[in-house]
Amino acid sequence: MTPSHLASLILFAALVSLVFAMLMREDPRARVRFGLMSFAAFVASAIVAGWLMSPFPS
């Protein structure tokens, strides 16, 4: 199985955010909001970090 970097990131962020939301919040609506915020934070921070590293050679 060889998903792309972005697909791996999205899979990872979605599954970890789901577990975090179930652990950190009790109310269903708060869980959804927390999960979405966590997912967005994972994806956005990875994209920003990747963009910041892009000028440097591998």
* CB closer to another protein, 26 vs 58: 26
5 membership: H or E segment, kind and range: helix 5-24
Q: How far is CA 1 from the centre of its chain?
A: 20
Coil, strand or helix: which one is 10? Answer: helix
Q: Which is nearer to another protein, 26 or 56 (CB)?
A: 26
Residues forming contacts to another protein in the complex (CB under 8 A) are 1-3, 8, 11-12, 15-16, 18-19, 22-23, 26
Q: Which is nearer to another protein, 12 or 37 (CB)?
A: 12
